[in-house]
Amino acid sequence: MSQTVSLLFGVHAHQPVGNFPEVMEDAHQRCYKPFFETVHRYPDFRFALHASGWLLEWLFTHHPEDMALLVEMAARGQVEFFGAGDMEPVLAAIPNRDRLSQLAAMSDRIEQIFGQRPRGAWLTERVWEATVVPALVDSGIEYVMVDDYHFLCAGVEKEKLNGYHTTEEEGRRLDLFPISEALRHRLPFTPAQEAIAFIEAQANDSTHAAAIYFDDIEKFGIWPETHQWVYQQGWLTQFIEGVLNSSLIQSRHFRDYHAASPTRGVVYLPNVSYSEMGEWTLPAPAAERYAELVRAAQHEGVLERDRQFIRGGIWKNFLTRYPEANWMHKRMLGLSARLASLPADQIRQDLVELLHEAQANDAYWHGLFGGIYLPHLRRAVWRALISLERRLDGLQTRPAQFSGDIDMDGIDEVFLSSLSLQAVLRPDKDASLIELSSYPLAQNFADTLKRYTEHYHAKARAGASSNHQGEGIASAHDAVRFKHEIKPDDLRPDTRSRGWFAETWTDFDAKRPVEYSSTVVQGGAVLCIGQAGEGKEATRVAKIYSVQDNRLTVALKAVGNGRLSTRLNIALPSCDGPAGRYVVNGEIPGGFGQTFTWNELKAVTLEDHYLGAAIKLETNRPARIRAQPHFTVSQSEAGFEKIMQAVELTLTWQAEDATEVQVRVDIVPLR
């Protein structure tokens, strides 16, 4: 029997729901189009493709001529399509009923377009929990892809990772293909002939030896330097021709290999994703300790042997790390339950599609790729959530005021709503608004992000460097690049919330936060009682929230002599773009990305021409108003960047004895 190895080659194509049109177009021109044009020239090169539903819809709408190549490759049997959740959710993070509907929507879409019903499925970010098995199997899925790292964490020997294994949950059988981490790190970064030689080295006398690759298609053109390397310098052409010309490599589909080859045996995997995710999901101190363990293992020369025992956190840790992600997630779960509780004849397709969009994974996490730091991705989730809630309210009324521990943090949040506006108060020490949603605009004006300490900030402080050595190009995991200048102050973490209305009291140049200790709901308003300082010198403060129509009203009362300040972080689509601007006394001083201070001012308007609406803020007493952008620093495959999260407005009044001020916020359409 001659020595051969089956190359099972798959790519995963995805763009987040709500991504910018120019980003989508750039991705197509640099990656999707040249990739499909290249593989189309080689009918004997078999490959698998998973493309998320939102991206497929965009590609067929904007580039049908290029998608015709994909349809042709499907007709001639060159490409095998993999299913998944339609809007690319992390299946482990959504209810089972939604797993089933997401998987069915994706499979229906593929069958309608390409005439194939997927037998395999892509797991978003390779997040594995055994709880997803029943939904996958009940949806007609026979096998999924996970990393070989998943298997190593279960103690499986490396020599057994050249084929698929079998698991079960509740008696339902699912087969698991281990993606080769070694191949992931080589393709397309090492020269094509080196990659071919690595695959050929896995050939043996068994007819069932397989080299298994399934990873982001964006590595073939979108990652830094890859477009020139993969297409202009011909890496992909060289790789495909090398595979087809090799006497040791057979280009095969997963479905054919699966049908012809036996399982390697039963396996039960722990809750895990790819190894990098284990580090990203840890808070900074734990991530640093994890990195120390990895460095120590490298120094001792045992990392390759012991990597599976040096394991970080799980994907769901992001919901603990980022309260903003947790709030979105728990609001999504609540709306999913409301939708499921409707009579069957009221569960319309448009409602299901909005729920699916709200479950898109990207805005819920952060690593080298996750997008919680990207306001436009969070905004897309909130747009879907708010639109769904508005429709559900039309079918199933709810109280204008209610409370409950929605995000499971031990504190009952308070909801105040009208037909047009909903304000959500978290009665913690700041007693600030964590949500201010406009139903007509489907916009959450409190959707911002605190400035956190991230483990990788140490790299930003150290400056640009790269761990890449040898031929080829550097992976985005190795290179350190800077899109913007990063200063020490940009990396200083926030110590308070970034919601609406967090107060500070200043006397004798000593600044103290106002800390609220009690909250009382009175009629349609919420009264918060707090103080700044301790003992006889403490300053007492009361705050009252109320909502009516499109207006939020906040009344503040302080007893003492000093200065009372309140801070609002206002999330707007045009945060640092030309469509967002201030209007003061009928004039336009500048845009949201600039810094201004106005003294003795009673009104300021924030116009967002992208949103088609404005926020009119008025106070009954003149205030000193400081406006500045709120930036965070994050890392993506393109490098370190500063991202404007919100407009930060700070209003300050001089207080004497008993001082009462009122702030009115109106959300109005632009004419």
Position 542, amino acid: A
SS3 label, residue 74 = helix
Question: Domain boundaries in the chain?
Answer: 5-270, 274-313, 322-398, 457-463+476-669
Q: Does residue 256 carry a catalytic annotation?
A: no
Spatial distance between the Cα atoms of 324 and 374, rounded to a whole number of angstroms: 12
Residue 397: the pLDDT is: 92
Residue 213's alpha-carbon distances to 192, 203, 279, 475, in angstroms, are 15, 15, 22, 16
Among residues 531, 495, 500, the alpha carbon closest in space to that of 663 is found at 500
- Using 50 as the pLDDT threshold, list the residues of the chain that sit under it: 1, 464-468, 476-477
Give me the catalytic one of 108, 216, 276, 288. Answer: 216
Residue 65's alpha-carbon distances to 46, 55, 418, in angstroms, are 22, 15, 47
Question: Residue 134: is the preceding peptide bond cis (ω within 30°)?
Answer: no
Residue 19: the pLDDT is: 94
pTM of the entire predicted model: 0.94
- Across the chain, which distance is largest between two alpha carbons, in Å? 95
Residue 304: the pLDDT is: 85
Which fold is adopted by the domain 457-463+476-669?
Beta-galactosidase; Chain A, domain 5 (2.70.98)
Spatial distance between the Cα atoms of 555 and 501, rounded to a whole number of angstroms: 10
Among residues 434, 485, 494, 502, the alpha carbon closest in space to that of 663 is found at 502
Residue 465: the pLDDT is: 46
* pLDDT tens digits, one per residue of 159-212: 999 999 999 999 999 999 999 999 999 999 999 999 999 999 999 877 789 999
Residue 108: the pLDDT is: 98
Residue 275: the pLDDT is: 87
Kindly state the helix (H) or strand (E) to which residue 541 belongs, with its residue range.
strand 539-548
Contact at 8 Å (CB) between 566 and 649?
Answer: no
Spatial distance between the Cα atoms of 6 and 654, rounded to a whole number of angstroms: 76
Position 333, amino acid: L
Spatial distance between the Cα atoms of 211 and 199, rounded to a whole number of angstroms: 6
First to last CA, the chain: 78
Per-residue buried b or exposed e for 338-375, using 16+ beta carbons within 10 Å of the residue's own CB: bbeeeeeeeeeeebbbbbbbbbbbbbbbbbbbbbbbbb
Position 92, amino acid: A
For residue 494, the 8-state DSSP code is P
Spatial distance between the Cα atoms of 76 and 82, rounded to a whole number of angstroms: 17
Neighbours of 520 (CB within 10 A): 11
Computed on alpha carbons and rounded to an integer, the radius of gyration of the chain in Å comes to 27
Q: Does residue 428 carry a catalytic annotation?
A: no
> Token pair 């490409």 is at which residue?
79
Strand partners, 553: 546, 664
Residue 335's alpha-carbon distances to 439, 440, 522, in angstroms, are 15, 18, 27
Residues in the chain, overall count: 671
CATH class of 5-270: alpha beta
Give me the catalytic one of 125, 200, 362, 648. Answer: 125
